[in-house]
Structure 1
């Protein structure tokens, strides 16, 4: 965590079992630590989540890593963003990949969540209702939701605001990526992997068809290619960057997009030796 302000911050970390831990950050201080170090380095199996309060002006990152010989590491930003609808724009579940999801209810009150799945063409496939107690977290693999085999993406609607994210990993424990984001009409895919591959995906979260214009740029800010991508209502388009563009983009280093509908955009970058992977949402750009 980093205190970006010129004043001391006295934070409180409240775990789901009611246990609280104080954490002080001096002005402009950076602090990195393992969660277990806050708890006398003792296993706390009943702790599943936490909320950090009095954290205005503090930014942070949570890292997940494998132990026991695994090589996986990924992180998600610590934010106070909540929404009544959370989008999970990619499902990868086969002999190579698994997809895990998290949905957390930060409220004290219980709520009902509705999981709705769609195929790539935008056709609704199934609807499932689940209950979440106050401060409860749903966590599990996608297959535990028993979604139809044709599921390309899904969303969770809730009576109350939730927060959540999804993880993609390889069964051989060599690669792991996380995604957390929301719908927008513009965004930037800030990295094109030069030593492997970059895949991008768009999910149209509106009923009407979307027209997404993608522009690939080089490091100097010069446009090297433009492509218009149609995405049907509630549909999903996913492919490698070089396949989506009809022009050569080998000289491009990032991609900007704009849409006439709200879309969820994200990218996955992987190295050719299958040892590294990262996931990024479409980042907000300036006007």
Structure 2
């Protein structure tokens, strides 16, 4: 009935798998849990190998890195049941009725998203930027997610029919980090599938440090523009691309570029500090995307 698919990269997924297995058994369902490490060659995989000792649980370590999108595609191809539940390996189950919640809320829907939470307290000052953005921007309550059901869909912690996933899949041609969820959700919106948002969050545990996260954000902005210029994403589906298109049409982009060139070092210094401003972070993102040499 349920295939739980867990992409991993250099992370100990054994506690996550044990909790999921326990809940599946308590609910008396037919299940499988498949974990796949994306060629991290991590010493933690010695621990992950123990997953293979658990009933209906499997751990696979890829020889060659395929990136996050293709890792999910390969997991889906290995799955044998009607429903696919995708959970990233660095997640933690925080509700004892997590599996039950999905079972009770999937009837009549094609896709169900449970949401995500970040820790109440930031683990360290060096992780403040990622933690702030996650907690105050990405962690949306159900009522807000339902206002824009497709745009609010993050694929970590999503239950989807295998028949629907197989019609879309993740775009393996794009190798850059970021906006794989956005593109997938956009394709789902064109299929007019029935999506449900529920209050069934997982905890995001592995929080990037400030410098690492900023690098990922810059790469994700490049990815967003590539998707737009390759006609794989409508500009209205992602707010920063919509703003970018507006700035280009009105020629205001030249003022933004000038502002960013003059202020980039100061903005970067502040958002990499121990108390980053999300407002200045958004200014940095707008300025950065305006200077990218992608498309026309």
TM-score bracket, shorter-length normalisation: under 0.3
User: What TM-score does the superposition give when structure 1 sets the normalisation length?
Assistant: 0.27
More helix, by proportion: 2
Report which structure shows greater RCO (CA 8 Å, sep ≥6). Answer: 2
User: What TM-score does the superposition give when structure 2 sets the normalisation length?
Assistant: 0.26
